[in-house]
Amino acid sequence: MANIAAKRIKREFKEVMKSEEVAGGAIKLELVDNSWTELQGTIAGPPDTPYEGGTFLLEIKVPETYPFNPPKIRFITKIWHPNVSSVTGAICLDILKDQWAAALTLRTVLLSIQALLSAAEPNDPQDAVVAKQYRDNLFLFNLTARHWTNVYAGGPSNITDFNDMVQRLLDMGVEEHQARVALSTYDWELERATEQLFS
Amino acid sequence: MDRSKPKNASEGIAPMGITTINDIADSNQPESRYECPVCLNWLRDPVITTCGHKFCNSCITSWLQNSGHCPIDNINLSMKVDIFPDNYTKREIQQQRMSCPFADKGCTLKVTPLDLDAHIAACEYNQPETSNQIDIKIPCSFQAVGCKETFKSQEEMNAHLHNETQSHMSYILNAYSEMKINNDMNASIDPKEQEAMILWEPDKNEGQNPAPPITNMGTLIRALYERVVVLEQRNREQDIVIANISKQLSAFAVAKNKQNQDMLLRYCMGNYVWRIDNFQARLDAMLKDHYKMLYSPGFYTSPNGYRFCVRLNISPQNPLCFALHVHLMKTEYDDCLEWPFNGRISFAMINQYEPELSQRDTMMSNSSLIAFRKPTTEICVRGFGYTEYAVVSNVVKNGFVKEDCLIVRVHIKCV
């Protein structure tokens, strides 16, 4: 790893460790190995959002050319959000792309991603299906996001209706995550989801 | 439905990784006004932008190769017109001095923050403490047959392999015979063979087994041979131990002898007997070269008192005569003494055939002479005594030299 990148990541790591966000539990950062090229971030779901109470893991890959190029970050924890791919966890955030600036740090990036959870950008979506639901049926979007947070991120709201529907598909032999994706995609209409799964 | 994944993850996150941070880097953390926002290090060749941000020259240059904006506020920046050297900050940073992080190991160097990393890499105190921290020990390659030695380096092991060939042979023999016994036992042969292995405890062996079967002979010889090897090895080891101990003993004797002499000089109470051995040879040398002088060791008037030595040489004024002087010498407690020295100095050149003919002289010190002031050199350059003490030929002829040895007794008493 390039000297400047490794040095900077080490300093940033310390900065994050000392920050009040870490102390308050809002974000966390840990090493995956000792190479400093891969780290794992954690952000807490922001309050007053469907993600509240959830813990979201992020994969952070630091390129050789860091900080002249942005770190590559994606969600490991599955999340229902217009700007995050529900399949790959890829994040659509300008500062991770063309708006990256060398003065940004892992701490500010993690905080930006956390802010993205509070304020989605449905007009610049990463996941078109989620964004459509966000625009057309915000109430259902919130319920779905809360359900995903509960199931994948340890969130508190257990939505019984959704659980039941997933269970119905499970009984039909469908894999759990596949069932949840189908139901979420078709606005929790069991028939349409089933149709899609078995067509 | 309940997934344990998020729970596991949060448990894993806790404080891990914090110990892997290099502590050395800690001490070199710049203040924010001297920190480059790109490399987060001390500003190196600092430049300032038109929007008022400071960067290392190389950092902002690299950044602006792919971007036209300030890394901090996204204002359009052009390398040509918006970047200026910030020599004020450069000077401020160069005036800072930081201690080497190995100061506790003894490095006293203080360098500018910019030079610190280079110094750390080259610092002679930056030695990996392999012996203390990482205790990796290589076991002897004969470990499998019972050698318990371990080594810090391959070289050490090689030396061990070289020196301990014999004991390793015996280890192998041991292992081999054990294997053999096991094989033979497996073949359900009389376990008496095993007893043969302990033949060197004859009472046991003979009592129980007066006539070992002839099939055991091979094992017996092997066991005996092995025993011989072990004893030879032990013998060799003990020879070495004995050699070491006698070396130590003679060193002790030398040290003891020296200590005795020192004690005599210190506790002679100003009463010193100077035996000049090999007198004829020394005299010849002095006659050949009149600048050659004989000095006695320094002796004390009391255990922590004045220290004098005696000088015997051919008189520079009259080459037929000996000159005899005393010189004050420095001691560690000179400051506790009174200066100038005041006392009586007696010389006696002993006639070793007729002691009553010994030549005796007594003088009083003269406090106005430099010779009796506190010495400023190891031996005071000015002495006190006789420039024409005795005629050389008389000393040799008239019985003062016996068995090639001249004896001069000096008695110095403070008054």
Tokens of A119: 């304020």
Q: Is A179 helix (H, G, I), strand (E, B) or coil?
A: helix
- Domain definitions of chain B by residue range: 19-122, 166-243, 271-414
Least confident of A30-34, A144-148, B384-388: A30-34
Least confident of A69-73, B342-346, B398-402: B398-402
Mean pLDDT of chain B: 81
Name the region of B271 (left: φ>0; alpha: ψ -120 to 50; beta: rest).
beta
Would you state the pLDDT for residue B135? 53
Q: Residue A175: which pLDDT band, with cuts at 50, 70 and 90?
A: very high
Write down the H helix ranges in A58-175.
106-118, 128-136, 138-152, 160-171
- Mean pLDDT of the region B319-323: 91
- What angle (nearest 5°) sits at the alpha carbon of residue A90, between those of residues A85 and A95? 120
Tokens of A167: 């269970």
* Domain A3-118, CATH among 3.10.110.10, 3.40.980.10, 2.40.30.20, 3.60.90.10: 3.10.110.10
Strand-pair category, B299-300 with B293-295: unpaired
What's the Cα-to-Cα distance from A35 to each of A11, A27, A28, B22, B128, rounded to whole Å? 14, 21, 18, 13, 20
In DSSP terms, B174 is beta-bridged to: none
Strand locations in B147-256 (E): 150-151
> By a Cβ cutoff of 8 Å, what residues of chain A touch chain B?
4, 7-8, 10-15, 17, 28, 30-31, 34, 40, 42, 54-55, 57, 67-69, 77, 99, 101-105, 151-154, 158, 163, 166
> By a Cβ cutoff of 8 Å, what residues of chain B touch chain A?
1, 3, 5-7, 9-10, 12-13, 16-18, 20-22, 25-26, 29, 37-41, 53, 59, 62-63, 65-67, 69-72, 74
Quick: pLDDT tens for B41-78.
889 999 999 999 999 999 999 899 888 889 888 888 88
Cβ <8 Å between A11 and B29: yes
Cβ <8 Å between A67 and B38: yes
Q: Contact, B37 vs B72, CB < 8 A? A: yes
What 8-state DSSP symbol labels residue B37? T
Would you state the pLDDT for residue B74? 85
Rg, C-alpha atoms of chain B: 42
d(CA B120, CA B122): 5
Quick: pLDDT tens for B156-187.
888 888 888 888 888 888 888 777 766 665 55
d(CA A11, CA A18): 11
Q: Contact, A141 vs A131, CB < 8 A? A: no
Would you state the pLDDT for residue B185? 58
Least confident of A9-23, A39-53, B235-249: A9-23
Name every residue whose Cβ is closer than 8 Å to that of residue B6 and which is 6 or more positions away in sequence: A54, A55, A57, A77, A152, A153, A154
Helix (H) or strand (E) holding B98: strand B98-99
Would you state the pLDDT for residue B136? 64
Least confident of A165-169, A172-176, B205-209, B360-364: B205-209
Highest mean pLDDT among B90-99, B117-126, B323-332: B323-332
**pLDDT exceeds cutoff 80 at B310:** yes
Question: Angle between the A138-152 and A176-185 helix axes, to the nearest 10 degrees?
Answer: 170
- Mean pLDDT of the region A87-103: 91
B132 phi and psi angles, rounded to 5 deg: -90, -45
Would you state the pLDDT for residue B157? 81
Would you state the pLDDT for residue B102? 81
Tokens of B63: 């950044």
Interior/surface letters B377-407, b for 16+ CB within 10 angstroms, e for the rest: eebbeebbbeeebbebeebeeebbbeeeebb
CATH topology of domain B271-414: 2.60.210
Q: Which of A101, A102, A154 sits opposite B6 (nearest CB)?
A: A154
In DSSP terms, A29 is beta-bridged to: A41
Mean pLDDT of chain A: 91
- Mean pLDDT of the region B220-237: 91
- Mean pLDDT of the region B341-367: 91
Q: Residue B312: which pLDDT band, with cuts at 50, 70 and 90?
A: very high
d(CA B385, CA B327): 9
- Mean pLDDT of the region A100-120: 93
Closest Cα to residue A156, out of A57, A24, A52?
A: A52
For chain A, the maximum distance between any two Cα atoms, rounded to a whole number of angstroms, is 56
Name every residue whose Cβ is closer than 8 Å to that of residue A51 and which is 6 or more positions away in sequence: A45, A79, A81, A117, A145, A149, A153, A155
Domain B19-122 belongs to what architecture? 2-Layer Sandwich (3.30)
Tokens of A86: 């529900």
Cβ-Cβ contacts under 8 Å, A17 against chain B = 18, 21
Helix (H) or strand (E) holding B321: strand B321-329
**pLDDT exceeds cutoff 80 at B133:** no
- Mean pLDDT of the region A144-158: 94
Q: Residue B255: which pLDDT band, with cuts at 50, 70 and 90?
A: very high
Annotation marks residue A92 as catalytic: yes
Quick: pLDDT tens for B183-221.
665 554 454 555 555 554 544 444 445 454 556 788 888
What 8-state DSSP symbol labels residue B348? E
Rg, C-alpha atoms of chain A: 18
d(CA B414, CA B408): 20
Q: Residue A58: which pLDDT band, with cuts at 50, 70 and 90?
A: very high
Name every residue whose Cβ is closer than 8 Å to that of residue A96 and which is 6 or more positions away in sequence: A70, A71, A72, A73, A109
What's the Cα-to-Cα distance from B256 to each of B229, B250, B297, rounded to whole Å? 40, 10, 17
Name the region of B399 (left: φ>0; alpha: ψ -120 to 50; beta: rest).
left
CB atoms within 10 A of CB B8: 11
Q: Which of B1, B69, B74 sits opposite A163 (nearest CB)?
A: B1
- Mean pLDDT of the region A48-76: 94
Cβ <8 Å between B71 and A101: yes
Tokens of B390: 């005795």
Percentage of chain B surpassing pLDDT 70?
82
Closest Cα to residue B310, out of B337, B292, B333, B328?
A: B328
Cβ <8 Å between A11 and B41: yes
Percentage of chain A surpassing pLDDT 70?
99
Chain region(s) in chain A for CATH 3.10.110.10 = 3-118
Q: Residue B98: which pLDDT band, with cuts at 50, 70 and 90?
A: confident
- pLDDT higher for B325 or B214? B325
Q: Is B299 helix (H, G, I), strand (E, B) or coil?
A: strand
